[in-house]
Amino acid sequence: MLNFDEQRFLRIQSGAVALRQRLDEVIASCLEKGAENIFFLGTGGAAILMQPAAQLLQRRSRFPVFIDLPAELVVTGSANLMARSIIVIPSLSGTTKESVAFLAKAKEVGATVLTLVGHQETPLGKGGDHAFVNFAEDDTSCESFYMQSLFIALSIMRHRGEIENYDQVVRELEALPRLLLEVKRSYEEKAEDFARILAGADYHIITGAGNAWPEAFYYGMCILEEMQWIRTRPVHASDFFHGTLELVEKDVSVVLFKGEDSLRPLADRLEAFARNYTDRLTVLDTAEFALPGISAEVRGLVSPIVLATVLERISAHLEVMRNHPLTTRRYYKRVAY
């Protein structure tokens, strides 16, 4: 595979899976001590990657869950942020300034802070009450963060008696790193063709529904915009028919990510519409990838993880095709802001 280290990928994703038991123990302890809610409070891309786990809890658990912006909470606070809150702060670098600033506020109220970081010796790596460290870099962080946050959500449901097949689900998830590697291998020949579509336009409407939507949002903002300087319009499939549809015409690129959760019909609806009005609809569908031993239920849970692992292959080809390395920036961590 182009510019890809298979053993490194397996090591990083297996590292995320290896954190499951300790995450479960910490969540159990928090609930035993009377935790009343949980906040997922990342900044930028890391925040987006927490959305599927938050959605899972919102729809299948009665445990209150909040997802907000640390930069705003530092200014406004929250009536729901209290000593009995669990706070999850993901940051690959461990140095994200908005998240570091919020950490101090969380400490003031006495909340229990779980940090998910790639580096221990950082403000967030050292500042959390419970730091979960799994080294990763931009090309491997999505799957890692998705899995860690999913384990947190499943643990809450387990200890509240809101999931009956927890053991089965986590057994399947533990097999995911090697399955994802096979997904990458199976898609490699097609990745260049998809990259050519992305390179062939300077504007894309990028969309999805359910837990595929956060990956559409993330890929549009953090990869195509930040790392490739390609203009995108990320829009949720539920919002597409309330504004963005008017921008669709023959030569407009629409990129649709389809997952396998219960909200897939929303993506089907959008696909049916777009096929009638543009000749530049591109669909990336997780249902096309083999995941031996993974049940339909778990396939639905891991759709954003599968999308992320395929999109990494597309990005690897895209940066070579455009002669624009994914590490190139004009402003991000280059200038004061």
Residue 247 binned pLDDT confidence (cut-offs 50, 70, 90): very high
Using CA atoms, how far apart are residues 224 and 222, in angstroms rounded to an integer?
A: 6
Distance, C-alpha 126 to centroid of its chain = 24
- CA distances in angstroms from 141 to 4, 19, 103, 294, listed in the order given: 14, 14, 21, 22
Per residue in 82-120, pLDDT (tens digit) is 999 999 999 999 999 999 999 999 999 999 999 999 999
Half-sphere exposure (Cβ direction) of 158: Cα atoms closer than 13 Å: 21
Give the global pTM. 0.97
* Amino acid 105: pLDDT: 93
Per residue in 143-185, pLDDT (tens digit) is 999 999 999 999 999 999 999 999 999 999 999 999 999 999 9
pLDDT average, residue stretch 2-16: 98
Using CA atoms, how far apart are residues 244 and 253, in angstroms rounded to an integer?
A: 12
Residue 205 binned pLDDT confidence (cut-offs 50, 70, 90): very high
Give the SS3 label for residue 152: helix
Residue 267 binned pLDDT confidence (cut-offs 50, 70, 90): very high
- Looking at every residue in the chain, the average pLDDT score rounds to 97
Domain with CATH 3.40.50.10490 in the chain: 6-173, 175-321
Architecture of domain 6-173: 3-Layer(aba) Sandwich (3.40)
* Amino acid 66: pLDDT: 98
CB 19 within 8 A of CB 135: no
pLDDT average, residue stretch 261-286: 98
* Amino acid 17: pLDDT: 98
Per residue in 320-336, pLDDT (tens digit) is 999 999 999 999 989 99
Output DSSP code: residue 219. Answer: I
Terminal Cα distance for the chain, rounded: 37
DSSP 45-108: HHHHTTHHHHHHHHHH--S-EEE--HHHHHHH--TT--TTEEEEEEESSS--HHHHHHHHHHHH
Instruction: Give every strand in the sheet of 231-236, ordered side by side.
Output: 231-236, 203-208, 253-258, 281-285
Output DSSP code: residue 287. Answer: G
* Amino acid 136: pLDDT: 96
Residue 132 binned pLDDT confidence (cut-offs 50, 70, 90): very high
Residue 126 CB neighbours (<10 A): 13
Residues above pLDDT 90, as percent of the chain: 99
Output DSSP code: residue 221. Answer: I
Q: Look up tokens 């799957």; give the residue.
A: 143
Burial class (CB in 10 A: 0-12, 13-18, 19+), 245: middle
Using CA atoms, how far apart are residues 39 and 153, in angstroms rounded to an integer?
A: 11
Q: Which helix (H) or strand (E) holds 190?
A: helix 176-199
Residue 12 binned pLDDT confidence (cut-offs 50, 70, 90): very high
* Amino acid 281: pLDDT: 98
Q: Look up tokens 């399947």; give the residue.
A: 172
Using CA atoms, how far apart are residues 21 and 278, in angstroms rounded to an integer?
A: 48
The CATH code of the domain at 175-321 is 3.40.50.10490
Q: What are phi and psi of 333, to 5 degrees?
A: 55, 25
* Amino acid 78: pLDDT: 97
Residue 56 binned pLDDT confidence (cut-offs 50, 70, 90): very high
DSSP 96-107: -HHHHHHHHHHH
Using CA atoms, how far apart are residues 237 and 265, in angstroms rounded to an integer?
A: 10
- CA distances in angstroms from 213 to 173, 245, 331, listed in the order given: 21, 17, 27
Using CA atoms, how far apart are residues 227 and 219, in angstroms rounded to an integer?
A: 10
* Amino acid 114: pLDDT: 98
Strand (E) positions, 184-251? 203-208, 231-236
Residue 53 binned pLDDT confidence (cut-offs 50, 70, 90): very high
